[in-house]
Structure 1
Amino acid sequence: MSTTTEPAITLYGTPLSGHTHRVEAFLNILGLPYRYVEAGAELRRSESFLALNPFGQIPVLVDGDLVLPDSVAILVYLADRYDASGLWNPKAPGDAARVQRWLSIAAGDLRFGPALARILTLWGGAASLTDAQAVAGRVLSFMDGHLASRDWLAAERPTIADIACYAYVARAPEGRIPLDPYPAVRRWLERVEAIPALTPMPQSAIPQTA
């Protein structure tokens, strides 16, 4: 008689979260089975979720006894724990430093540029959309120049740096940030979306204000 075993990994997130998408995409790339729990606002305020992440933020990954919030930290963990090739988070000092640089950009300029502009456009908020769009323009211009002479952000092949930066760049137009001025970025997005098992970041079904 066969028995069904629950996956050891559980991912808490929401479908339109770029932070969640980073982790979900990488789990799929690595071919790891996992249980997905949609963590809407009500669940994130619950005692059970706050026990996992006192900040009430997504994503959260549970792998056996390990409870790990923060999408970038989760990418590093999954690469080091499950990628036998060692290519997704390389350990050579130069490569490792370049990956870390782009992880910092993902957590900084991309978060406060394209990601914030998208949030303000789709859901509103008190921050300045103009300021977020200005940050987005600077980081996208930098990325476009960087990618003009290379295929990937940090190495000669895709790494977790590309996964971390992908989602909010792909959906920058949802924050009224057109990608037409950035041809190298658009070609890079096509390469990322061609990575086997990666599912593109979903587009929002929320009507956008013109």
Structure 2
Amino acid sequence: MMKLYHTELSGNCHKVRLMLSLLQIEHERVLIDLASGEHKSANFLEINPLGQVPVLMDGDTLIRDSQAILVYLTRKYEREDWLPLEAESMAKVMQWLSFAANEINTSLFIARLHFRFGMDFDWETAQQKGKQVLQIIDTHLQDRNWLECNSATIADIACYPYVGLAPEGKVALEPYPNILAWIDHIKQLPGYETMPGL
């Protein structure tokens, strides 16, 4: 059985939990206590030398990084509905995985770390960039319900948590009606699983 090392309040961990739930994949969850530093313990560093969650173990296969895990799950179970194999469609989905790991991670994620967890970051710059990120997404969603392919893909799952958690970084979502509608569409997916803050 697959084993997921995770923590409840991480948006990156939520991406994986949500994908596992949407795909109805049986798995075991191992909660890692970040507050006590368990992710930096010798035992956990043997699993992931980066000392980060999520980590997915599938037999002898170990995958770290939430975006990589999303790709692994959809390919392992041959779910082309979630990750199309046609070149242009796949590239468009992968663009959003990169967007999640870069633009969202260096803006909305950072602002949330400051206000939700009290970490010392340049939150004003993060908030400003976060609003630009949200405007890009909102404009893109102007004439569509999903980020790509006219259906839910891992692009949506990769971007969703930290966009949905933007208010925890003191970035309001009300100015972005297309994002609010998109969030509602995600919450209506069969097998949807939530997390604190969403």
User: What TM-score bracket applies, with the shorter chain setting the length?
Assistant: over 0.9
Counterpart secondary structure, 1:148? helix
Q: Tell me the alpha carbon deviations over residues 68-95 of structure 1, each in whole angstroms, 9 at most, x when there is no partner.
A: 110000000000001x441101011110
Partner of 2:142: 148
If the length of structure 2 is used for normalisation, what is the TM-score?
0.96
Larger radius of gyration: 1
2:15 aligned partner, one-letter code: R
1:168-187 counterparts in 2 under 5 A? 168-187=162-181
Within a 5 Å distance, the mapping from 1:50-129 to structure 2 comes to 50-82=45-77, 84-129=78-123
- Structure 1 moving runs of 4+ over 3 Å: none
Q: Is the 8 A contact 1:11 1:61 kept in 2?
A: yes
Match of 1:29 among 22, 25, 35: 22
Hey, what's the Cα distance between the residues in 1 that align with 2:60 and 2:41?
Answer: 20
Give 3-state SS (helix, strand or coil) of 1:35's partner.
strand
Unaligned runs of 5+ in 1: 1-7, 205-210
Q: CA–CA distance in 2 between the matches of 1:168 and 1:186?
A: 13
2:194 to 183, 195, 200: 200
- Aligned pair count reads 196
Name the counterpart of 1:3: none
Are positions 1:14 and 2:43 aligned together? Answer: no
In the alignment, structure 2 segments of 5+ residues that lack a partner are: none
Report the alpha carbon displacement of residue 59 of structure 1 after superposing the two structures with TM. 0.3
CA distance in 1, matches of 2:43, 2:192: 30
Question: What letter matches 2:171 in structure 1?
Answer: I
Q: Which structure 2 residues correspond to residues 162-173 of structure 1 after superposition, within 5 A?
A: 162-173=156-167
Distance 1:174 1:107 in 2: 19
Matched, 1:135 2:129: yes
Give the letter for the 2:19 counterpart: F
RMSD: 1.1
Percent of aligned positions that are identical: 39
